[in-house]
Amino acid sequence: MSERYVFDASALLALLQGEAGAETVERLLESGGVCGAANWSEVAQKVSAAGADWDIARALLLSYPLDVEPVTASDAEHAARLWKRGSGLALGDRLCLALAHRLGATAVTADAAWGARDRVHHIRRVGRRN
């Protein structure tokens, strides 16, 4: 069985914006993946705020075998337990990690604030700023 991936908003935005790590996201997406509904909303909001066409961005993302998964009460509670003052992990980040935990998957992110964690794939070197 191949590894499963849960994509954080930052990873999908890197792909859409052609940023560093976009090729890694594309390669991982080609084998299929999941994006939590909270992170999906974040991608939609950021695309729209940038003045881009969300319908086109959504069509591009969904041209890959990518499923959007709802947030469960269990995910919400797990995300709450991940909160630590000053950790740099926003609610969307913690929900992504909680979803990956529930699915037994690896979370994919471009966010260096996640630091070194088990079952997290950084698309950019941790500590590198873009």
- Is residue 9 assigned to a domain? yes
- Residue 65 maps to a domain: yes
| Structural domain boundaries, residue 75 | 5-122
| 97 lies in some domain | yes
At 119, the pLDDT band (50, 70, 90 cuts) reads low
The pLDDT of residue 129: 40
pLDDT tens per residue, range 28-44: 999 999 999 999 999 99
CATH no. for residue 105?
3.40.50.1010
Q: What is the pLDDT averaged over residues 85-114?
A: 87
Residue with token string 């075998």: 65
* Cα distance between residue 46 and residue 58, in whole Å: 12
Question: How many domains does the chain contain in total?
Answer: 1
Q: What is the pLDDT of residue 85?
A: 72
> What phi, psi does 101 have (nearest 5°)?
-60, -45
Residue 16 belongs to some domain of the structure: yes
Q: What share of the chain in percent tops pLDDT 70?
A: 86
- In this structure, is residue 11 part of a structural domain? yes
What's this model's pTM, rounded to 2 decimal places?
0.88
- Give me 84's structure tokens: 């630590």
User: Domain for residue 128, yes or no?
Assistant: no
| Residue with more model confidence, 116 or 13 | 13
Q: For residue 2, what pLDDT is reported?
A: 74
Q: Is 49 inside a domain boundary?
A: yes
Spatial CA neighbour of 57 closest among 40, 44, 42, 70: 44
Closest C-alpha to 33, from 66, 81, 9: 66
Instruction: Tell me, yes or no, whether 129 lies in a domain.
Output: no
List the beta bridge partners of residue 7: 108
CB 90 within 8 A of CB 46: no
For the stretch 49-70, pLDDT in tens is 999 999 999 999 999 999 999 9
